[in-house]
């Protein structure tokens, strides 16, 4: 038996020598046939994705678009919304209807945000801020205490009213603005805001659907802002040329590259609403898996200063508001940036 064992080993040894490099090479081959996520069923994102390691950009938190008028009869309702957002882990709010309230309502809103650990992005995205139309007619309630006679005076009044609040994050100065309006936006609004308050950033967001856009690298708006980004709403319920959910990594990386080129911070706005709210019947709300996929790919391919979700008011007015809100809360709780 001892002889036979030695003889067998002697025969096998040359075979092992020949096969070992081949086996090692096979083991080293990368996996190439892993399917990509689809809009219908993206893979669930890892709970703690790794962002771009080279970033020194601070992350100011997740935020929500809101649409709550600060009128006297509705102010308490808007303040309670801030409580709900903060309890869910959101740190930023951008309320489209904020400036339709009084000066005292602006301060009350900021104070409540401060008390619950949130910051306010002041909405100055209305085209009236730069297109030459009368701001005092657009915001008559706030204009009552302005003592101003033109748009320049109104902008000065608004900025001076809020700029010393510790709850102010900055100013939303552009929302899907046509590139042809660049000069008016810069000359009538953004330069003035920066002059009045250089301590707080200006935010500009365009649309991922446009051919001239931040993520394509050809946006002209880099000189109007300090934080620049795009909104990405791929779940549309209809066939069109909008980027698919699988293109979120390209949108995120392109946005980051543009921001880096111009020495600015990046931002991303992700979808938490259904286009059924905007005239597309039967369009779905994004699932928890789809929101997690969009977020994890954003974090893996960029290092945005802020990530906003559109929108709180759509989510809370949906037919399945509790589930949709829980999905969004789950998404941000289980996907925290590593920078």
Q: List Cβ neighbours of 53 (8 Å cut-off, separation of 6 or more).
A: 339
Residue 55 confidence (pLDDT): 53
Residue 230 confidence (pLDDT): 98
Q: Would you list the domain boundaries of the chain?
A: 58-232+246-273+288-333
Residue 83 has pLDDT above 90, yes or no: yes
Mean pLDDT, range 249-261, rounded to an integer: 98
CA-CA distance, 279 to 274, in Å (whole number)?
10
Contact call for residues 172 and 94 (beta carbons, < 8 A): yes
**Least confident range of 29-43, 72-86, 189-203:** 29-43
Mean pLDDT, range 104-125, rounded to an integer: 98
Average confidence score pLDDT of the chain: 87
Mean pLDDT, range 111-117, rounded to an integer: 98
Residue 251 has pLDDT above 50, yes or no: yes
CA distances from 323 to 66, 90, 124, 240 (A): 19, 17, 32, 28
Mean pLDDT, range 242-251, rounded to an integer: 96
Helix H segments across the chain? 2-28, 75-87, 103-115, 135-138, 140-143, 151-162, 182-185, 191-196, 248-261, 288-301, 312-316, 321-333
Residue 282 confidence (pLDDT): 84
Q: Regarding beta strands 202-207 and 306-310, do their DSSP bridges make them parallel or antiparallel, or are they unpaired?
A: unpaired
Residue 234 has pLDDT above 50, yes or no: yes
Mean pLDDT, range 176-186, rounded to an integer: 98
Phi, psi (deg, nearest 5) at residue 310: -110, 115
CA-CA distance, 166 to 163, in Å (whole number)?
8
Residue 239 confidence (pLDDT): 66
What is the CATH code of the structural domain delimited by 58-232+246-273+288-333? 3.20.20.80
Residue 21 has pLDDT above 50, yes or no: no
């Amino acid at each position: 038996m001892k002889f036979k064992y030695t003889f067998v080993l002697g025969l096998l040894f040359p075979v092992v020598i020949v096969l070992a490099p081949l086996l090692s090479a096979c083991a080293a081959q990368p996996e190439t046939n892993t399917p990509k996520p689809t809009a219908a069923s993206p893979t669930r994102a890892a709970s703690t994705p790794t962002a771009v390691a080279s970033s020194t950009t601070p992350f100011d938190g997740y935020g929500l678009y809101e649409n709550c008028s600060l009128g006297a009869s509705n102010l308490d309702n808007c303040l309670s919304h801030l409580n709900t957002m903060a309890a869910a882990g959101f740190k930023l709010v951008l309320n489209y209807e904020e400036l339709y309230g009084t000066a005292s309502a602006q301060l009350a809103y900021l104070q409540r945000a401060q008390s619950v650990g949130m910051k306010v992005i002041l909405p100055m995205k209305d085209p009236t801020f730069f297109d030459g139309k009368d701001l005092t007619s657009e915001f008559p309630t706030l204009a009552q205490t302005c003592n101003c006679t033109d748009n320049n005076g109104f902008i000065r009044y608004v900025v001076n009213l809020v700029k010393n609040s510790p709850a102010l994050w900055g100013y939303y100065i552009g929302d899907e603005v046509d590139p042809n309006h660049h000069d008016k936006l810069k000359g009538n609004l953004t330069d003035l805001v920066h002059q009045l308050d250089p301590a707080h950033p200006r935010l500009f967001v365009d649309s991922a659907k446009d051919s001239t856009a931040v993520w394509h690298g050809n946006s002209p708006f880099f000189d109007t802002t300090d934080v620049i980004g795009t909104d990405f709403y791929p779940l549309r319920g209809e066939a069109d040329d909008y980027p698919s959910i699988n293109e979120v990594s390209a949108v995120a990386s392109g946005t980051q590259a543009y921001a880096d080129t111009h020495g600015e911070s990046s931002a991303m706005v992700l979808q938490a609403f259904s286009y059924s709210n905007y005239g597309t019947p039967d369009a779905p709300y994004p699932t928890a898996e789809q929101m997690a996929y969009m977020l994890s790919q954003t974090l893996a391919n960029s290092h945005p200063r802020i990530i906003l979700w559109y929108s709180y008011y759509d989510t809370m007015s949906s037919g399945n508001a509790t589930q949709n809100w829980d999905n969004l809360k789950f998404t941000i709780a289980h996907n925290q940036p590593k920078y």
